[in-house]
Amino acid sequence: MFGLSELAIILIVVIALVLAKKGPELARNAGKSARILKAEARAMKEAEEQQATDTPPRVIQGETIPNRTEHPPTDGTRP
């Protein structure tokens, strides 16, 4: 019967025949997909940059606590 090396050679020949027929189409489709992916990534990056320049910085209201070097009160009250 067939040995492992003969089966490997037959498999390589079959793959080469299928690839000869479908190879250019597969390569063309892969190129189109890569171009679409690259264009979408570029558009997403530009949208993020546009959004970063359009929105003003957020202002959060709060209170300012002065720097103090003395220790806080020990009776639990706030200064």
Tokens coding 12: 């390589």
pTM above 0.75, yes or no: no
Residue 55, pLDDT above cutoff 80: no
CA distances from 5 to 8, 28, 79 (A): 5, 33, 87
Token pair listed for 17: 């025949």
The DSSP annotation for the chain comes to ---HHHHHHHHHHHHHHHHHHHHHHHHHHHHHHHHHHHHHHHHHHHHHHHHHHHSPPP-----------SPPPSSS---
**pLDDT by residue (tens digit) across 20-42?**
888 889 899 999 999 999 999 99
